[in-house]
Chain A
Amino acid sequence: IAGITQAPTSQILAAGRRMTLRCTQDMRHNAMYWYRQDLGLGLRLIHYSNTAGTTGKGEVPDGYSVSRANTDDFPLTLASAVPSQTSVYFCASSDSLGDEQFFGPGTRLTVL
């Protein structure tokens, strides 16, 4: 693989269900990010990680959790999905915080 991969590509989920969006990068970047993109609201940061073992809250963290067990993976978990979490989710990475960011292809999530 080259760059950032995300899985699944799309998902339809019943409200109340738990869901984990996966993100893997092979660039050995230290920093990783999760954004959501909504029509009319642009991209907003959910959570970020400066390096393996550390995470931080972004602009819209409520209802989401992340972990960073290693450099390559940065999963995003919705513990109990709600319809307002319907969105396109993008994972990104950079060499370190503040550097040029590279984005994955996105996951389209629909919560019914």
Chain B
Amino acid sequence: GIQVEQSPPDLILQEGANSTLRCNFSDSVNNLQWFHQNPWGQLINLFYIPSGTKQNGRLSATTVATERYSLLYISSSQTTDSGVYFCAVERWGAQKLVFGQGTRLTINP
């Protein structure tokens, strides 16, 4: 099956810092989504981005499908950005999302 690798596994930053999270995948995909799981366990969809670039406030994401990676950028981090960020991909015809192991982000005040 498709492999999804996220890096770094852990990231600790001070409030106000910028960060880049990476997601590499091993096969062509027609679906890529980024999720944030907050410290209370709630999963929030951040981006649906099989290709191209999207921005939503302080967050943006870029997927380069031909090179099989996606990046999530968080600017001017806030403590509420803490949690685990998951990348999930769907291989063409697979009809299921495969999740990476996540990047745990801790933003200290």
Contacts and interface: CB of A to CB of B under 8 A. Distances in A.
Interface of A: 33, 40, 42-45, 48, 50, 56, 58-59, 88, 90, 92, 97-103, 105-106
Task: Say whether chain B's binding surface is mostly helix, strand, loop, or mixed.
Answer: strand
Contact of A90 (B33, B43, B98): B43
B86 A43 contact: yes
Given A42-B100, A92-B43, A99-B48, 17 more contacts: A33-B97, A40-B101, A44-B99, A45-B96, A45-B97, A45-B98, A58-B96, A59-B1, A90-B43, A97-B95, A98-B31, A100-B33, A100-B45, A102-B45, A105-B42, A106-B42, A106-B43
Contacts of A102: 45
B29 to A, nearest CB: 10
Interface residues of B, number: 22
Contacts of B43: 90, 92, 103, 106
